[in-house]
Amino acid sequence: MIPYKRLERDLVHKGRIIDYYSDTIEINGDKQTTFDFIAHKGASAMIPVDQDGKILMVRQYRNAIDSYSLEIPAGGLNPGEDNMTCAIRECEEETGYKAGEVHHLIDLFTTVAFSNEKICIYYTSDITSSKQNLDEDEFVTIERHSLEELTTMILNGDIQDAKTIAGILAYKAKMNL
């Protein structure tokens, strides 16, 4: 394997959710190039399953794609927060349902080519009605779908969010064991 060595990391922009850097990389000890790097604080997601076996999903506008997206509830880590706590908090904030017993499902890096964003995904079938607590710029619609409906939506291209696709398909594989 060709050795890569980071020589320098320069902050280009500090954002609310991400920080953007320009990295100077040495390749094979003789050539230098520049890579873009986006640092992310990390995130967690939850697959909440109700007593009827339906999965609670959130539909929300996403600026990056200028469209609405159907997703599992998720969000960024707060300072000092662990991933499971984040997943439980985000599930309640976005869906209005509090997760009881929670199980780890899968972790994924969303875009390894230029970002270190890691999302830890959990699932629960132990939810109780609580209170939705959205951020002031967050507007979501709650939908309930069967696992089969969601799988079909993924395969038809109706769901394109990476964490949702990975989470739902991993959950389906786990439930079919």
Instruction: Check residues 139 and 67 and name the one with the higher pLDDT.
Output: 67
Pick from 71-75, 78-82, 94-98, 173-177: least confident: 173-177
Does residue 77 sit in helix, strand or coil?
A: coil
Provide the pLDDT for residue 20.
97
**How many CA atoms are closer than 13 Å to the CA of 105, on its beta-carbon side?**
29
- First CA to last CA distance, the chain: 37
Closest CA to 15 of 87, 69, 66, 76: 76
- The partner residues of 71 in beta bridges, in order of sequence, read 58
State the pLDDT at residue 75.
Answer: 95
Q: Dump pLDDT digits (tens) for 38-61.
A: 999 999 999 999 999 999 999 999
DSSP codes of every residue in 149-177 = HHHHHHHTTS---HHHHHHHHHHHHHHT-
Task: Give the residues across from 11 on adjacent strands.
Answer: 21
Domains, the chain, in order of start with CATH, read 4-39 (no CATH), 41-175 (3.90.79.10)
Is residue 99 over pLDDT 80?
Answer: yes
Using CA atoms, how far apart are residues 51 and 111, in angstroms rounded to an integer? 34
> 108-148, pLDDT tens digit by residue?
999 999 999 999 999 999 999 998 887 788 789 999 999 99
> Does residue 2 surpass a pLDDT of 90?
no
Give the pTM. 0.93
For residues 23 and 42, the answer to whether their CB atoms sit within 8 Å is no
